[in-house]
Amino acid sequence: MIILAVDTSSQAASCAIMRDGVLAGEFFCNVGLTHSQTAMPMVEALLHITGLAAGDLDVLAVTTGPGSFTGLRIGISSIKGMALALDKPCVEVSTLEALAAGVPGFQGYLAPVMDARREQVYTALFRSHHGMPERLTPDAALSLEELRERLAPLDAPVMLVGDGSVLCYQALEGLPGLLLAPEGCRHQRAGWVAAVGAQLAEQQRFVDADQLAPTYLRLPQAERERMEREQQIAKESL
């Protein structure tokens, strides 16, 4: 089985191809360009370097959230367009689950955290053994204090991964057993999206291209600001 995976859920963009469980190639770009400028050129280059044609792909995987609202739409649209053109099945991968998979060999709890602004993070909790991490909680948007309350009672070391890991490590200073993942493990990477995607494909958890949709966990910033303005106007009118 040959899987193409794409991640554009955060500032960095990446793509990877996995063939029968072995990573054949991966491109990662974190230079500040928009994902519309980098995602598909990287996919085209990766196919060329690995000697594959788009038609050779069996499954297309993409992170559907949580993450950047604009970034998620770009990645999903790219994979949706390819899947429709090639008539290929897709798998939706949680950004947080892919992050948790990116620390192999660690034993304990994994807390992937993505900066959601306003002292909130997108997060979930996993238990890591020697295989793929076991999910313990669903993806959610939590305040830093709520994250502290979740992690404090745990009975084993907790490793923070993701672009919000440094923020959380500093904010939760003094929490026993809290660890910060090495810098190379803190970014979302398509290689781990492919690994999780392969597992989902083995479980036949496919979706059609037209079913691909982002998982935001909370309203876009523009919508939140509009609601806040309306609430303020309503208060002033009383």
Average pLDDT over residues 20-37: 92
Average pLDDT over residues 184-205: 95
pLDDT digits (tens, 9 = 90+) for 211-232: 999 999 875 554 544 545 555 5
Q: Are 67 and 11 in contact (CB under 8 A)?
A: no
Domains annotated on the chain, with CATH: 2-96+189-225 (3.30.420.40), 103-185 (3.30.420.40)
| Strand-pair category, 134-135 with 140-143 | unpaired
| pLDDT value of position 42 | 97
Beta carbons within 10 angstroms of residue 229's beta carbon: 10
pLDDT at residue 57 greater than cutoff 80: yes
Average pLDDT over residues 175-192: 93
Mean pLDDT of the chain: 91
Q: Which residue has the tokens 């002292």?
A: 119
pLDDT at residue 8 greater than cutoff 60: yes
| pLDDT value of position 150 | 97
In which band, very low, low, confident or very high, does the pLDDT at 235 lie, cut at 50, 70 and 90?
Answer: low
Q: Give CB contacts under 8 A, 24+ apart, made by 105-109.
A: 105/130, 106/159, 107/156, 108/156, 108/157, 108/158, 108/159, 108/177, 108/179, 109/136, 109/151, 109/154, 109/156, 109/157, 109/158, 109/159
pLDDT digits (tens, 9 = 90+) for 109-135: 999 999 998 889 999 999 998 778 999
In which band, very low, low, confident or very high, does the pLDDT at 236 lie, cut at 50, 70 and 90?
Answer: low
pLDDT at residue 14 greater than cutoff 80: yes
| pLDDT value of position 6 | 98
Interatomic CA distance for residues 205 and 116, integer angstroms: 28
Lowest mean pLDDT, pick from 13-27, 82-96, 177-191:
177-191
Q: Give CB contacts under 8 A, 24+ apart, made by 27-35.
A: 27/190, 28/187, 28/189, 28/190, 30/187, 34/74, 35/8, 35/70, 35/71, 35/74, 35/75
Average pLDDT over residues 40-48: 97
